[in-house]
Amino acid sequence: MRAVDRVVSRSFVFVAVLMVAHVLHAGSNSTVPAISGEATMAPASDASVILLKPARSSQGVSSVVLAQQAWKALEKKQYDQAILLADDCEERFGLLARRQQSALKAFPPPDKAFSYAALNDVATCLFIKGKALRGFRREEEAKGVFNTIIREYRFAQCWDPKGWFWKVSGAAQDQLACIKYDIDFGDYTSQTLTAKAWKAYSARRYEAMELYIRKCVELFGEDAKTMQSSLRDYPAKGQESDYWALNDVATCLYIRGKALQKQGHNKDAALVYREILDNYSFGQCYDPNGWYWKVAEEAKRNLQFCG
């Protein structure tokens, strides 16, 4: 099982051009997440042209620079500094960020997302602040910050240098779940989520297990179905890991089925096993002892005991 970088939309080329322009204006080549820009219209003589620039306060400080510095402080576990930078960003750009939020009805597409610099960077800084508070074990304060993101900056997005945007409010919701159930999604790869689901299952922490499974299916379910549709039989030996999403999603569903069986919910378990057989029949699970086993075969065997 392995995780592969997710592909970006067809608008990636345009997004890349926007990103380069933004970095030039921001004066930074940092690869820290949260690179964004604010769009302004060109002079009336050429009103169809959109110029990109980062959001700046009257003192000339860029929101993207504050976000980048906050990320770096968080990575170094300089939690006090991360919180100070986040508060500074919100104080300078919070009003503009809320105005940008109020103008939106949905998440902007990738080629437009950079135009909401203040929204993206303020929400990202608040997310960093929440993580820093968690680093201090100040969970109740962190919950308040994450709820603020969800309530006031719902459509903010953060640019990942790997090539895509992630939704800050969704990540904030994940953090709230982590606090409530004492879990950690780690690096969000399918491999990590599956391993954590197995561990939670073994510990009979079924609520935590279910959260890991849901997240894996949410992030990689479509990739898994695409891989399944490309196959007519199980992959040849040595090529199993090429179908990482299919393997991990099928395995996560199998774990769910086993947990339901163990709790006496046989009818629900049967539905899960049938879903594996119908949609992920070529998924395989890697055994630490050095081989792959076929998930559908085990699901079919367990189905016999579901009544």
The β-bridge partners of 158 are 166
Residue 184 structure tokens = 């950690």
Take residue 173 and report the two structure tokens written for it.
Answer: 């919701």
pLDDT at 141: 98
Write down the pLDDT at residue 23: 43
Residues of the chain with pLDDT under 70: 1-60
Residue 131 is predicted with a pLDDT of: 97
Instruction: Tell me 137's DSSP state.
Output: T
Beta-bridged to residue 38, according to DSSP, are 53, 116
User: What residues have CB less than 8 Å from 108, skipping those under 6 apart?
Assistant: 115, 116, 155, 157
Tell me if residue 27 falls in helix, strand or coil: coil
Q: State residue 61's pLDDT score.
A: 82
Give the model confidence (pLDDT) of 31-42 as tens digits. 344 334 443 333
Q: Which two tokens stand for residue 188?
A: 């969000």
What is the residue-averaged pLDDT of the chain? Answer: 85
Q: What is the pTM of this model?
A: 0.72
Q: State the Cα–Cα distance between residues 58 and 65, nearest whole angstrom.
A: 15
Q: What is the pLDDT of residue 34?
A: 39
Query: Minimal CA–CA distance to 241: which of 275, 197, 292?
Result: 292
User: Which pLDDT belongs to residue 201?
Assistant: 98
pLDDT of residue 59: 61
Token pair in block for residue 98: 């809320």
pLDDT tens track for 63-75: 999 999 999 999 9
